């Protein structure tokens, strides 16, 4: 008798934060998983995700590098099919633009933009074969200037715009692209960005990654184009932003992202 094929989902940055919560939901929904992370703990995350009963492959690789992307592509090729691709791994670099080495900004671009383009170019053909789904984890920062994380917001604006364009090109193929724009979310993200001393560094007021992940997965499954991830206050802020000038949005972002010494 033929073995029943379970759908396979790739979740980049599935070892922590929003990506781990998305991976848990997809595992509970009957997907086998390929989860990626930059550190060895992706193997612990994979072990925990196996409790849902599916097959879970862990890939430890640096997605800011072409070789790291290639490792993920090879894992998908070894799995033999791809039904869901969640592009979630991403970083910010906190602090004033000139206070950070150029290399840190370029590394952010290589991860947030470069890996998005590389993975789509390599794996969208697999998704066309299965009429699969893409979830891009962008940010509300895509919709505003982000002083003191100056390259981050533009990198997410790229992702959102790229996602909308790709969605249109894929019309009629059965592949759907959903773009999730989370508001500030309580993960390791701002700590990793070196922003502990800023308002964003305090996780107590931020969105629950479980909520943001659920909203994203439900939207992807329903074929929604674009959404803001987070609680009612986050949704309200997202709506209000539409009427603000770029200058005002930049000022408001700086209030939360500016390190104390430059206030």
Chain contacts with ligand NAP (rule: CB under 6 A): 13, 15-19, 36-39, 41-42, 62-64, 88-91, 111, 137, 139, 182, 184-185, 187-189, 192
Distance CA 108, CA 219 (A): 27
Which residues touch 205 (CB under 8 Å, ≥6 apart)?
184
**Residue number with CB closer to ligand NAP (128 or 196):** 196
Q: Min. distance of Cβ 3 from ligand NAP in angstroms?
A: 31
Catalytic option among 69, 107, 147, 152: 152
**Residue closer to ligand NAP, measured from CB, 175 or 228:** 228
Q: Which is nearer to ligand NAP, 1 or 75 (CB)?
A: 75
Report the residue number, 35 or 52, with the smaller CB distance to ligand NAP: 35
- Kind and range of the H or E element at 125? helix 115-130
User: How many whole angstroms separate alpha carbon 208 and alpha carbon 13?
Assistant: 17
Q: State whether the Cα torsion 205-206-210-216 is positive or negative.
A: positive
CB of 141 to ligand NAP, least distance (A): 6
CB neighbours of 69 closer than 8 A, spacing ≥ 6?
61, 63, 114, 115, 118, 119, 122
- Per the CB < 8 A criterion, the answer to whether 133 and 84 are in contact is yes
Q: Has 148 been annotated as catalytic?
A: no
| CA separation, residue 170 to residues 9, 118, 215 (Å) | 19, 17, 23
Q: Look up residue 147 and give its two tokens.
A: 């002083």
Cβ at position 247, least distance to ligand NAP in Å: 22
| Least distance from ligand NAP to the Cβ atom of residue 179, Å | 11
Enumerate the active-site residues: 152
């Amino acid at each position: 008798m033929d073995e029943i094929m379970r759908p396979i989902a790739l979740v980049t940055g599935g070892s922590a934060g929003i990506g781990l919560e998305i991976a848990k939901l997809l595992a509970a929904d009957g997907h086998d998983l390929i989860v990626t992370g930059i550190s060895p703990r992706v193997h612990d995350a994979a072990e925990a995700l196996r409790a849902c009963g599916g097959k879970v492959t862990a890939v430890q690789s640096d997605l800011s590098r072409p070789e790291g992307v290639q490792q993920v592509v090879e894992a998908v090729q070894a799995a033999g099919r791809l039904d869901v691709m969640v592009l979630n791994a991403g970083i910010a670099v906190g602090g004033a633009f000139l206070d950070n080495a150029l290399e840190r900004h370029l590394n952010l671009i290589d991860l947030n933009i470069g890996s998005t383009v590389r993975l789509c170019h390599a794996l969208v053909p697999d998704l066309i074969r299965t009429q699969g789904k893409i979830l891009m984890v962008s940010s509300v920062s895509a919709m505003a200037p982000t002083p003191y994380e100056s390259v981050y917001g533009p990198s997410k604006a790229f992702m959102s715009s790229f996602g909308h364009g790709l969605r249109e090109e894929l019309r009629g193929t059965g592949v759907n692209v959903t773009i999730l724009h989370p508001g500030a979310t309580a993960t390791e993200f701002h700590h990793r960005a070196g922003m502990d001393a800023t308002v964003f560094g305090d996780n107590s007021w931020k969105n629950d990654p479980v909520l943001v992940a659920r909203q994203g997965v439900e939207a992807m499954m329903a074929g929604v184009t674009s959404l803001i991830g987070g609680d009612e206050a986050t949704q309200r802020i997202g709506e209000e932003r539409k009427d603000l000038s770029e200058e005002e949005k930049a000022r408001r972002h700086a209030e939360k992202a500016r390190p104390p010494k430059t206030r």
